[in-house]
Chains A and B, each alone.
Chain A
C-alpha cells in the first residue's frame, strides 16, 4: 500500500533531478533497494506506470539493484551476508552485531537525453 506514496516520491525526485540536469526524456532509473526494507519492486513498478505519465519519466523503466543484508559481528570480528533479517551472528550466535547494509533505498543514477 505505502508503495504509492513512495513511488510518488521517486517520480518527483527523478523529475527534479532530470530538470536540474537538462534531461527531457528519462529512459532508465537505477534504484538501489536494500533487502531489509519493506518495499516491493512489483508494487513500485505498478504505481510507476501510472505516475510517470506526462512527466519527464514517461518513457523510463526502473532497474532494481538489490543490496544484501550485511552485518559485522563485534564478537568474532567478521562480516557476514545474511538472507533473513535476523540480526544474530551466523557464525558465533552473538547479538553484538552492527548492520552494515540492507536499509538502502536510493536513486543511484538516471539515464536519458
Chain B
C-alpha cells in the first residue's frame, strides 16, 4: 500500500479551461460579465436594459445559458444583436467546457459579452467560465437576507445589482440591510440599485461598464 501526495484542486480542469477561455476573450478585447441570480430575479430584463442603451456605441454579444429552451435568446435577438444559446441539459450551471464549445462561433470582435448563467444562486458561483468578473442580481421580493444565505456568490461577485427597486413600497426589503449583508460577505462589492422595469439606476451601471470596457481597450493596446 502506498500513499501519494497529490495536492491538486478537484476543479483543476475547469480552472485551466477557464483560463484558456479568458485568454481567448482577452485577445478579442472583450469584457466578459458572468451574470448570476435566482430564477426570475431579472437577468434577462437587466441585460435588455444594458443592450438597449449600449448597442449603438458597442458591439455586444449575449450568451444565454439555460437548462432547456431558447425563450430568453429570442427576447434578446429581437433587440437586433447577436445571441448564442447554451443548453446545459442536466447541469444547473455553466462551466468552462460548455463555454469553450461556443468559442468557434465567435467570429467577430465584441467589446462586451454578457453571459446569462442558469438561474441559481449556488452552483454557478463555483464554476469559472473565463469571465472578467461575476455580477450578482438580487431582486427585492427575494428578501434582504439572501446574501447571508448564499454567501459564496456575494463573496465572489465584484458587482451586485439590487433589482426591482420599483417594488420597494410593496415588499419587506430594506436596502440598508441588504447593503450591510452584502458588505459582510464582500466589503469591496460595487452595489447598484436599479429597476429593470422603469430603467431607473441604469445610468450608473452603464458608466461603470463603460469604464471597464475602456480600461480593457487601453490594456490591449499596450
Contacts and interface: CB of A to CB of B under 8 A. Distances in A.
* Real binding pair: yes
Interface of A: 1-2, 4-6, 9-10, 12-14, 17, 21, 23, 27, 31, 36-39, 84-88, 95-97, 99, 105-113
Looking at chain A's contact residues, the main secondary structure is mixed
A23 to B, nearest CB: 7
Interface residues of B, number: 33
B2 A23 contact: yes
A17 B8 contact: yes
Contacts of B14: 9
Nearest to B188: A95
A63 B7 CA distance: 14
Contact of B92 (A2, A21, A85, A86): A2
Q: Which 8 A-B residue pairs are closest in the complex by CB-CB distance?
A: A2-B123, A95-B187, A85-B151, A1-B92, A107-B6, A106-B9, A111-B3, A86-B184
A108 B6 contact: yes
Contacts of B74: none
10 contacts: A1-B92, A2-B126, A9-B14, A13-B10, A17-B4, A21-B4, A105-B11, A106-B10, A109-B7, A113-B2
B19 interface: no
B13 A12 contact: yes
Given A1-B123, A88-B184, A31 B7 contact: no
Interface of B: 1-14, 90-93, 95, 122-123, 125-127, 148, 151-152, 155, 183-187
A10 B125 CA distance: 18
B183 A95 contact: yes
B165 to A, nearest CB: 24
Given A109-B6, A111-B3, A113-B1, A13 B12 contact: yes
B7 A86 contact: no
Given A85-B185, A113-B1, A113-B2, A36 B10 contact: no
A10 B6 CA distance: 12
A38 B8 contact: no
Nearest to B147: A86
Given A4-B90, A38-B123, A110-B6, 8 more contacts: A2-B122, A4-B91, A23-B4, A31-B10, A106-B6, A108-B6, A111-B2, A112-B2
